[in-house]
Structure 1
Amino acid sequence: MLNSIGIPGLIIILVIILIIFGPSKLPKLGRSIGESLKNFKDSTKDVIIDEEDEKKEQKQ
């Protein structure tokens, strides 16, 4: 899906975001999105590790 957007589409999306949130809130918005992605990534890693541990215990 993201492959079909292209550079002009991304520029339009960024301009719309800038208009909606304004330049003062963009750093806060970016930071919160980054923290959310990091938390999601950490959670998925924990789930994968837990599943691998369960598989190892079942083999023994």
Structure 2
Amino acid sequence: MGRLGPTEIILILVVIILLFGAKKLPDMARSLGKSARILKSEAKAMKDDDKSAAPADPPNTTDDQQPPAQRVIQASPGDVKSSRPVNESTDTTQR
């Protein structure tokens, strides 16, 4: 009990195809892959930001506030339609 044999796996796949339809499955797999790539790139970007965001001395603040830096988050390599600029806070204090 608890182990799936080839018969059970085939039965599960048939039920999935019947529920979602054969036409929707490739689109679902494609969107799942795109989401995984986005998540991976965002996790890498956050890790890179953490490494470079720890300055030794806090910057001198003046009355002239600079606008937050912008960076472009790309949905997936080569997908320029989903790119969008993102305003990020330069506040390094913890909330």
* C-alpha displacement of 1:16: 3.6
- Letter of the 1:38 partner, please give it: R
Q: Which has the higher contact order (CA 8 A, sep 6+)?
A: 2
Q: Percent identity?
A: 32
**Richer in strand (by share):** 2
Measure, in 2, the Cα distance between the counterparts of 1:46 and 1:28.
Answer: 27
Number of residue equivalences: 54
* Bigger CA radius of gyration: 2
TM (norm. structure 1) is 0.66
Distance 1:42-1:58 versus aligned 2 partners, 3 A rule? same
Higher helix share: 1
Give the alignment's TM-score, normalised by structure 2. Answer: 0.45
User: Matches of 1:6 and 1:37 in 2, distance apart?
Assistant: 28
User: Matches of 1:7 and 1:45 in 2, distance apart?
Assistant: 35
Note the residue ranges of structure 2 that are not aligned, 5 or more in a row.
58-95
Q: Which runs of 5+ in 1 are unaligned?
A: none
